[in-house]
A and B are shown apart, each in its own frame.
Chain A
């Protein structure tokens, strides 16, 4: 009993020579997650590509039809509307959701008494289902709803505004719902980033007589610039993926003439029933992938720089 094996094991482990487990242990632990990765992430991408070249219908296989689905997409007016809607969605959401949550984060950053309550409360719309909040909103926005009532009472308008039945008003109602629901989500991301902004800069600037507005633009904003970029990419991707808000507010119809559809609503529309066309829905899915992959790749790039930078 001169030397126990463990005595040799320590330096070996430091050098990374001996591995202290049976070779299959990591694979046993990873197996379930890897199975899900293969079946529900990797295979679906491959299968989406395959399906997009077929005329598959719900519950029946399809035949290879070449580029037919893509040709159809080029001439699809509803798809053109959906893409236009996505662009409008993005253009309105990005500035609003990049700045308002930052202001909110600055507001809840200071540890005032009761601040945890306010932070949690501001996060409530995020944890609520989009269906629940869209039902609440559709109830406030309809022609007999509270918003029209208030506007009429204060004589802003004579007739009720068709928030849910006009092509553009419906889109903007959905956008305002998305903005409202997103405030708390991006606030939390900013709150996390604000912790890393140097406090002494604020103090020094305050001593020099810089007011809160100047400090916000000259210290806070530059300090969270990377996060603002990250947030605006997230907002863009989420705007392209919008579904529930538009679906519930329009009662699943996509508004007047179905012109308030999003790309995801079209995918859902073709996923089932007599109108079902899984091949075409897959082609639309690939289109969605193509328009979101750019911002998404930028996102992973940002994440990497972020970690290197700090």
Chain B
């Protein structure tokens, strides 16, 4: 049989690499927008607005790259990814609202911050992706 390379794998590898670059850039810009006001520009509002705007724009780039990555996957991997995203989104919405209600009703003695919610969504996606991958192995 004629030796052919799997173009799908090469495309996916390239998309993963680009998604990692966008994600890394977004994390850096978020870190800059978060810690910059205190450590770099002494709460100058104009600089903070620019930093947040840059972070948002890079975030939009990351979202578009994630869409390209998902669309570039082969159909089984796309199904596993979409199922994991659906579960993560559901857990995020339900968990986020419950967490917020705990705060509003003063059940928890601290403010409901967004950090734990992001962590919950990330961990849920990771677990759902692993479980999905094993299911179709």
Partners in one complex: no
Report B's interface with A, CB cutoff 8 A: none
